[in-house]
Amino acid sequence: MAGLDRPARVLVAGASGVIGGALVAALDADPGVGTLLAVGGRAPPPLPRPDAPGRHALACDLTDPRALAGLADRAGTLSAGGLDLVINAAGLLHGPGIRPEKALAQVGLAALHQVFAVNAFAPVLLAQALLPLLRHGGPAVFASLSARVGSIGDNRLGGWYAYRAAKAAQNQFMRTFAIELRRANPAAACLLLHPGTVDTPLSRPFQSGVEPGRLFAPELAAGHLLAVIASATPADSGRFLAWDGQAIPW
Ligand SMILES: NC(=O)c1ccc[n+]([C@@H]2O[C@H](COP(=O)([O-])OP(=O)(O)OC[C@H]3O[C@@H](n4cnc5c(N)ncnc54)[C@H](OP(=O)(O)O)[C@@H]3O)[C@@H](O)[C@H]2O)c1
């Protein structure tokens, strides 16, 4: 990360997911990473080197404020009071009782609640819980995985009401957080990142229309995301960027 002059203290939420797991693997292999906290949702995720110093697997339901307070306490202890990089790779597109809607008639309140809870509310609650660990005055990045389909300006196909709207809401939450983060730590940046279409269980039912060469392996996607994060400066805070660093319209 630009300007960081000590071993990085990193937390990855959604580390039990495929992109989150690939991010953890890449960060674990980076000699510049001193502390790596891999946070799963339902259970602590497997670590590439569980016995290596500074590597810890935790679990936290990001929609539960009490669990988030516990996570912040534990992260503060394990990282000696500060984090240099937080990546939120949690998300929800489909699952039991949840399918992306093809038409308005399929929109349902229970699914709206769940999809908004994970894709929109969890990122802002995670930011709230971890802000005290980002106030240290040194370079810091809070990056949250959004999705291009959350772009209102880019919405030409329709459908996917809950997921699109929840990612758009996340974008507004994080844009607003970026302004507060700048006051709390002028050397920090908050980024919204679109990983591209990545071969994971989340995208698997919807991969048929993806152009050849545009379905990324998780390891490749993790490399893209870490490159965008590594080149980010505080001037980029509040931006919505694709895997190749290009800005996406709101
Ligand atoms: N794959 C793609 O093509 C694609 C494209 C655009 C954007 N994205 C975004 O990239 C991110 C990662 O996607 P992925 O494909 O890696 O998905 P994934 O493999 O399904 O992983 C999703 C992760 O979210 C976690 N999660 C869900 N609900 C949670 C909760 N309440 N509390 C804590 N964690 C929770 C899951 O943890 P548990 O299973 O342990 O609960 C899991 O670690 C998501 O935000 C997704 O929207 C993906």
Torsion, Cα of 177, 181, 184, 187 (10° steps): 180
Residue 248 within any structural domain of the chain: no
Residue 112 within any structural domain of the chain: yes
Residue 2 within any structural domain of the chain: no
Of 199, 203, 181, nearest to 190 by C-alpha is 181
Residue 62 within any structural domain of the chain: yes
Residue 247 within any structural domain of the chain: no
Residue nearest to atom 10 of ligand 1 (CA): 145
User: In terms of residue numbers, what domain contains 49?
Assistant: 8-242
Residue nearest to atom 7 of ligand 1 (CA): 147
Res 5: pLDDT = 87
Residue nearest to atom 6 of ligand 1 (CA): 147
Q: What is the mean pLDDT of the chain?
A: 97
Residue 163 within any structural domain of the chain: yes
* 54 class by beta-carbon count within 10 Å (0-12 exposed, 13-18 middle, 19+ buried): middle
Mean pLDDT value across residues 34-46 = 98
pLDDT digits (tens, 9 = 90+) for 229-242: 999 999 999 999 99
| Pair of tokens at residue 153 | 């300006």
Q: Which residue has the tokens 């394990």?
A: 78
Residue type, 139: P
Residue 1 within any structural domain of the chain: no
| Cα–Cα dist 123/192, whole Å | 10
Tell me, in angstroms, the distance from the centre of ligand 1 to residue 13's CA.
Answer: 9
3-state secondary structure of 166: helix
- CATH number, domain of 144, equals 3.40.50.720
Q: Of the residues 202, 214, 216, 220, which should be mutated to test ligand 1's pocket, given the most ligand atoms within 8 Å of the CB? A: 202
| Atom of ligand 1 minimally distant from the CA of 216 | 3
Concatenated DSSP letters of 188-248: EEEEEEE--EESSTTTGGG-TTPPTT-EE-HHHHHHHHHHHHHH--GGGTTEEEETTS-B-
| Pair of tokens at residue 34 | 């001193």
pTM, whole model, 2 decimals? 0.98
Tell me, in angstroms, the distance from the centre of ligand 1 to residue 91's CA.
Answer: 3
Tell me, in angstroms, the distance from the centre of ligand 1 to residue 119's CA.
Answer: 9
DSSP secondary structure letter of residue 60: -
Number of domains in the chain: 1
pLDDT digits (tens, 9 = 90+) for 58-68: 999 999 999 99
Rg of the Cα trace of the chain?
Answer: 17
Residue 250 within any structural domain of the chain: no
Calculate what percentage of the chain has a pLDDT beyond 90.
Answer: 96
Tell me, in angstroms, the distance from the centre of ligand 1 to residue 200's CA.
Answer: 9
pLDDT digits (tens, 9 = 90+) for 162-191: 999 999 999 999 999 999 999 999 999 999
H helices within 117-186, ranges in order? 122-134, 161-184
Tell me, in angstroms, the distance from the centre of ligand 1 to residue 90's CA.
Answer: 4
Residue 226's DSSP bridge partners are none
Instruction: Give the distance between the most distant pair of CA atoms in the chain.
Output: 54
Residues touching ligand 1 (Cβ under 6 Å) are: 14, 16-20, 40-42, 61-63, 89-92, 118, 122, 145, 147, 194-195, 197-198, 200-203
Of 193, 174, 190, nearest to 234 by C-alpha is 190
